[in-house]
Structure 1
Amino acid sequence: MQASFSAPKVGRWYLFITESWKILLLWLSGVFLLMSFRLFYLFHFSENISLNITAKQIFDALATGFKFDSSAAGVCLAIPFLLNCFLQPLRLDNWVRRVRNMIGLIYLSVFVLLGICGITYISEYGTQYNYFMLEGLYDDQQAILSTAIQQYKPWGSLLSIGILLSCVVVWTRFVDKRSYRLLINICPKSRIKQAIISILVFVMFVCAARGSFDSRPASRKWSAVTTDPFVNNLVINPFRSFFYAIQDYGELNQLTTLSTNPYLADKHEIDDALLNNETRSMGPLIQKPSRIFYIVMESFDSWPLQDKYRDLALTENFHRLKAKGIYVEQALPAASSTMNSLSSLVTGIPFSGINMSRLTSKAQTYSLIHLMEDQGYTSQFFYGGLLSWQTVGEFMSRHGVDHVYSAANAGGKGSAGVWGVDDGQLFDLVSQSVPENSFNLIMTTSYHGPFNLDLSASDYPWKNGDYPVQFQRMGDEVLSANTLGHLWYSDQMMGQFVDNMQRKYPDALFIITGDHYSRRYFHAKPNLYELTHVPILILGQGVSPKLSNRTIASHMDITATIMDLIARSNTSFSSFGYSLVGSEAPENVFGYKTIRDTERVWKQGDGEQFYSYQVNPKQGDKGVEQPAPTLEYQTYMAAAWQLLMGSPTPH
């Protein structure tokens, strides 16, 4: 406060009003900043918005977003406001001013940083901040940083941050130094009117901090006010989404410390489900392979395999190979991130929200590694990145893998550099290290940002971005030719490797799948099927498409299928899945927050509600909504949680 407004001249109440006005200006600044970011997101990512959305829905989204912005700004300014209420009567206005200046500068700066960084985050994940960002604490931070720099070239973002932060400094100083004589001159001198105004100021601030005059404050569960999931995601501002991400991550990690099962309370149903998982192999259906290659391809999902994209010729090797073996195009991954899916494939335990990279399961009857070694195979793991990523090397060793290889064993870095070696280098390493009677789990990396492989000397057909005419009509919304080139490259390297190994080891068995859906689609409006599925392919000597007629599957079906194909007859093991070559086919298959039957796929939103998409409409069925089999899903997840938490050892 300026010296001319000292207490003896203007009084405590006038200082309270002046300070409240400054806090109001800072509140308006925060609301304006957050709303500006929301409008920018809507414009910049407009290709992600459904064409069916109405102007009224956009208005509803902005109006609801204003409530979240008001609440975020109000909460951040709560401390200076309360100090203004309680310290002004004590003639401590200097403390009020200092705290307001400091918090105003910090909170507006945080809004700027989260808003600008949110542009890159949405570009990568198609959503605002979520718990994935904290999974990076166990990731290769250097690789993440290099990916962000090389793929998104954030120099414009850094410049914008610098400019906006300078504006924040200038604005907070302006608010603090400006004269407010007019405000003081029009304030009433009546004690009764002053009391009424003071009460109104307090009430208005409480409403601003709640984000609403209603009985219901701004809350995430009320944010989905439109029919467009992407727009709904932008209703919540970057500041609130950041803290929701921390909250969600904490809740997921709390699953590992809960004493009661978060999915189901009835222990008898869990026990029955685990008992039903116990089974025996029906094979062997093929001659025992000398080598098994289990290839988990980074971000290799089902959308490029659809007929409507065949003219792009992105996955010709996979198309060629799928005709020779058991192929299920409509399969659900165990999770939507690499480590969680890989953990489930290794342990045989579905991902239920618990990051298994830091746990060791003792449920060996489910463990793929244990089952393969019991059949006389040496287990090996090959990863195109570094073993420090998600502590994957330690994870594999704890779960009994005999030999673990990484990018370090293949020369360190490839042409892409960031995440490790190129897929071609990885497969060369594998081909040099496969003794007889070996089970080889391979995790590729090339179809991953920053997508900086040098494809100039390759046969990739769309190097110049000249897609076929039917795809050019989609305009600027289609995925870049460079990104698709990395998908093409990963398919090429996989196909060459399979061909080489089949020539060298004719009796080898191959299992090929994607770790999760890629979060990158040819056009900006993928349907729910394209957002959720990965393929599964099993081929080898004696493996015929006639061995299976399954149309839907999940990652959890793979271990049971391998056991029926190669295991000694009547071998006891446990599985959450169903063998693709067995006579029994499930009505539903499950992934994390995902359910699939032969006609529909259901996906769980931010709350408990599942929404559905009709994949294979029946004759005459016009897409009538069907309730998701949530009770069966809850039992499935409850059994997975109980099995893991009843037997794990933390690390």
Structure 2
Amino acid sequence: MLILSRWEIFFRNIQQDLKLYVFILGLLCILRVGFIAILYSYINAQSTISDILISLFYGLRISLKSAAVVALFSFVFSTLLCSLLRSQKFEKIRMVLGSIYVTLLITLFHARIPFYQEFHTGFNQMIFNTLNDDIVALFYTLVADYNLPVLLISTAVISYIFCRILTKILATGTFTAPRFSQGYQKMMFRLGVVVIVFLFMVFTRFGGSLTYAHSLHWENATVSKDDFLNEAIIDDIQALNRAYGIQKRVSEGTGIKVDAGKIRIYGAQLKGSALTTNEVDEVFSKHAEGARIPKPKHIFVIIGESFAQWPLREEYSSLHIADGVKGIIARENAIHIPAFVPNGAFTPMAVTAVVSGLSDVSLYPNYHPESYKGLYSTAIAPQMRKLGYKTNFWYGGASSWERIKAFTLAQGFDNFYGMGDFVSKSGNVWGSDDRYLFDAIAASLDSDVPTLNVILTVSNHAPYSVDLAQEGFNESQVIAALPADGKEDKDLIKRLGHYWYTDQQIAKFVLKMQEQYPDSLFVITGDHADRTNISKTPTTFDRYTIPLLLYGKGINKQIIPQNVAGSHINIAPTLIELIAPLGFEYYAEGKSLTRGSDIGFSHNVWITPNAIGKIQGEAAESFTGGVETGVDRASVQQSVEAMRALAWWRIEKGKMIK
């Protein structure tokens, strides 16, 4: 009996792993085709064969990851054990793993059909609510309405057939490891095999790419305009991964758990009088003091990705990475509010705050069921519609990211446009380069239809793939302005270059639109800061603040009081107070800057017109970093607690205080 070396056993077994991988990948593709074929009536009438083929291609790419799951287990528990212990008995593990995975995929496929018919989506976080449901009623429904016995029989038969096919495939022969007369040849061959295995793992990990810049995952894989085809792209393993990821985020939301009595106290504190109803919205109700500017034809709220405040400060002017927006600030019909912080540490918190008008309380409104039951009274879109505006949300990335399309439409936006809805010649895993996003917005406008356009850019984000040289970035100028320890920091220079690119694109767009539509109003801010700083120890102000800029016809340096502060939840009330007629009723958690809002806060910092500090800390800091003593810390804490408690109640408990 020929005794094989560990290398020969390893070489044979990785071929078996590859067979298993290709078989599972093929099965996933077959199931995807089956899903589309069975539920073809859900395909949008405007979709074409090309759209279906694109969904199949992207589905193939993302399923590379799903097939790799079982292949990895096979590699660890079969290939490595067989090779290390020089025993063939561990090869049986591969077949067991493959059979379990096949049965799982077939079972999930059968469950997915009725799930989609019921919820018009693939598996999502709703599956985690099953244990809280009436199990008996659920079982009865499955039997009566979805022919559970037939589904179980079909699952068993199809699983058996594919397991038998897998058995026969794994029983086919493999190539023997070549033998070499020279030691270096043997070494080179083995090294080559190891490198190929490693590259294969990277390729599958990134969903058909060797780099993160072009990787594919469930958040950016849904490239079709057809919601059904987008769900077809996401196979059941990736859908479960999506469900788990979303549920984890929601479950980690600690919020502020208070009772109805405390909410009444907080509500009265913010309202300035006792509540007369059992509705939270009474606290948010306000009446406009009268328009301060002529009603603009178009309103643009631009949320720049990682568009921090510090590059706008004079001490960093030699970098010349914020000259575009700074040039707008210098104009007479512009005002810059420096005491401004984001709603949270990440982009979704900025989106939820601007869209819903509610502050961050770790509840993820974009995933929370309450956001899909009806409109929040504080939501910006329905209130701007009452003022005569068609509302559009523009995003440079995929519409499936953080449920951004579903959330914005659920909260009243008339239209959502994301990557795939406009032509883009360059971009990365997160979306289109900003240039093409702004071009699409400019081309969409109608001079006869007033619009509110909320715009979220993506380019100033890792993996930082914009061709800066082609865009005209003066790298040497930036390097010359950097301190000694930053001149060789290529990553920092690239990050600064992408900030420059975002600044340039925002400024070009604003000036172009202002020229075409002189009566437009522009709001420029960022989604968050705290990503890039020149200093290793930035002040709290430089680390966390983002700019807020208002620009347009009727705006002047005095239209907002000097001593104001705010955050994303102050944007909607400020816009409304600028343009709404006297007495117009609106709803907002935050206070309009025109009415002297004197506090802003995020998940971890607060800001006043002259100081900034950590919510969990005691110290107050001046904007330049020194200790600030003239702050009523208790009052700040009380205001933050009250607003966050009310936001938490509205999202978690609903409208009624009971």
Q: Give the whole-Å Cα distance in 2 for the aligned partners of 1:400 and 1:376.
A: 14
1:390 deviation in Å?
Answer: 0.8
Q: Give the whole-Å Cα distance in 2 for the aligned partners of 1:558 and 1:624.
A: 24
What do residues 562-597 of structure 1 show as CA deviations (whole Å, max 9, x unaligned)? 111111221111222222222x343x3222222112
Alignment of 1:188-203 (within 5 A): none
How many correspondences in the alignment? 410
Q: Give the whole-Å Cα distance in 2 for the aligned partners of 1:310 and 1:466.
A: 10
Q: Which amino acid aligns with 1:636?
A: M
1:305 deviation in Å?
Answer: 1.1
1:551 deviation in Å?
Answer: 4.3
Call closer, same or farther: CA 1:330–1:625 in 2, change over 3 Å: closer
Alignment of 1:585-604 (within 5 A): 585-586=597-598, 588-604=599-615
* Residue in structure 1 matched with residue 336 of structure 2 by the alignment: 327
Q: Give the whole-Å Cα distance in 1 for the aligned partners of 2:209 and 2:611.
A: 36
Alignment of 1:363-382 (within 5 A): 364-382=376-394
Whether contact under 8 Å (2:375, 2:412) holds in the other structure is no
* Residue in structure 2 matched with residue 261 of structure 1 by the alignment: 257
Q: Which amino acid aligns with 1:402?
A: D
Call closer, same or farther: CA 1:501–1:625 in 2, change over 3 Å: closer
Q: Does 1:271 align with 2:278?
A: no
Whether contact under 8 Å (2:263, 2:646) holds in the other structure is no
What do residues 320-366 of structure 1 show as CA deviations (whole Å, max 9, x unaligned)? 11123121122011111111211111111111111011231645431
Alignment of 1:609-620 (within 5 A): 609=617, 612-615=620-623
* Residue in structure 2 matched with residue 471 of structure 1 by the alignment: 483
Q: Give the whole-Å Cα distance in 2 for the aligned partners of 1:508 and 1:599.
A: 31
* Residue in structure 2 matched with residue 344 of structure 1 by the alignment: 353
Q: Which amino acid aligns with 2:257?
A: N
Identity %: 24
Q: Which amino acid aligns with 1:451?
A: Y
Q: Does 1:303 align with 2:299?
A: no
* Residue in structure 1 matched with residue 406 of structure 2 by the alignment: 394
Q: Say which of 414, 431, 451 aligns to 2:442.
A: 431
Call closer, same or farther: CA 1:330–1:149 in 2, change over 3 Å: farther
Q: Say which of 597, 621, 635 aligns to 2:642.
A: 635
Q: Give the whole-Å Cα distance in 1 for the aligned partners of 2:411 and 2:380.
A: 10
Q: Does 1:405 align with 2:413?
A: no
What do residues 92-132 of structure 1 show as CA deviations (whole Å, max 9, x unaligned)? xxxxxxxxxxxxxxxxxxxxxxxxxxxxxxxxxxxxxxxxx
Q: Which amino acid aligns with 1:443?
A: L
Call closer, same or farther: CA 1:455–1:264 in 2, change over 3 Å: farther
Alignment of 1:426-465 (within 5 A): 426-435=437-446, 436-462=449-475, 464=476
Call closer, same or farther: CA 1:543–1:302 in 2, change over 3 Å: same
1:416 deviation in Å?
Answer: 2.9
Q: Give the whole-Å Cα distance in 1 for the aligned partners of 2:311 and 2:260.
A: 37
Q: Give the whole-Å Cα distance in 2 for the aligned partners of 1:404 and 1:320.
A: 30
Whether contact under 8 Å (2:396, 2:433) holds in the other structure is yes
Call closer, same or farther: CA 1:144–1:498 in 2, change over 3 Å: farther
3-state SS of paired residue (2:645): helix
3-state SS of paired residue (1:531): helix
Structure 1: segments with no counterpart, 5+ residues: 1-134, 136-141, 155-244
Call closer, same or farther: CA 1:309–1:349 in 2, change over 3 Å: same
What do residues 187-245 of structure 1 show as CA deviations (whole Å, max 9, x unaligned)? xxxxxxxxxxxxxxxxxxxxxxxxxxxxxxxxxxxxxxxxxxxxxxxxxxxxxxxxxx9
Whether contact under 8 Å (1:330, 1:551) holds in the other structure is yes
Q: Give the whole-Å Cα distance in 2 for the aligned partners of 1:298 and 1:632.
A: 28
Q: Which amino acid aligns with 1:332?
A: V
Whether contact under 8 Å (1:599, 1:617) holds in the other structure is no
3-state SS of paired residue (1:632): helix
3-state SS of paired residue (1:511): strand
Q: Which amino acid aligns with 1:426?
A: L
- Across the aligned residues of Structure 1 and Structure 2, the Cα RMSD in angstroms comes to 3.7
Call closer, same or farther: CA 1:611–1:479 in 2, change over 3 Å: farther
1:628 deviation in Å?
Answer: 7.8
1:468 deviation in Å?
Answer: 2.3
Q: Say which of 577, 582, 589 aligns to 2:590.
A: 577
Call closer, same or farther: CA 1:611–1:539 in 2, change over 3 Å: same
* Residue in structure 1 matched with residue 504 of structure 2 by the alignment: 492
What do residues 52-84 of structure 1 show as CA deviations (whole Å, max 9, x unaligned)? xxxxxxxxxxxxxxxxxxxxxxxxxxxxxxxxx
1:545 deviation in Å?
Answer: 1.4
Q: Say which of 557, 570, 588 aligns to 1:557.
A: 570
Q: Give the whole-Å Cα distance in 2 for the aligned partners of 1:425 and 1:397.
A: 23
Call closer, same or farther: CA 1:452–1:617 in 2, change over 3 Å: closer
* Residue in structure 2 matched with residue 532 of structure 1 by the alignment: 544
Q: Which amino acid aligns with 1:510?
A: F
Q: Give the whole-Å Cα distance in 2 for the aligned partners of 1:364 and 1:416.
A: 34
Using the size of structure 2 for normalisation, the TM-score is 0.57
Structure 2: segments with no counterpart, 5+ residues: 1-124, 126-202, 216-244, 271-279
1:405 deviation in Å?
Answer: 0.8
Q: Which amino acid aligns with 2:262?
A: D
Q: Give the whole-Å Cα distance in 2 for the aligned partners of 1:388 and 1:449.
A: 19
Alignment of 1:91-130 (within 5 A): none
Q: Which amino acid aligns with 2:309?
A: S
Q: Which amino acid aligns with 1:449?
A: A
3-state SS of paired residue (1:354): coil
What do residues 584-619 of structure 1 show as CA deviations (whole Å, max 9, x unaligned)? 343x32222221123321224xxx55554332689x
What do residues 156-179 of structure 1 show as CA deviations (whole Å, max 9, x unaligned)? xxxxxxxxxxxxxxxxxxxxxxxx
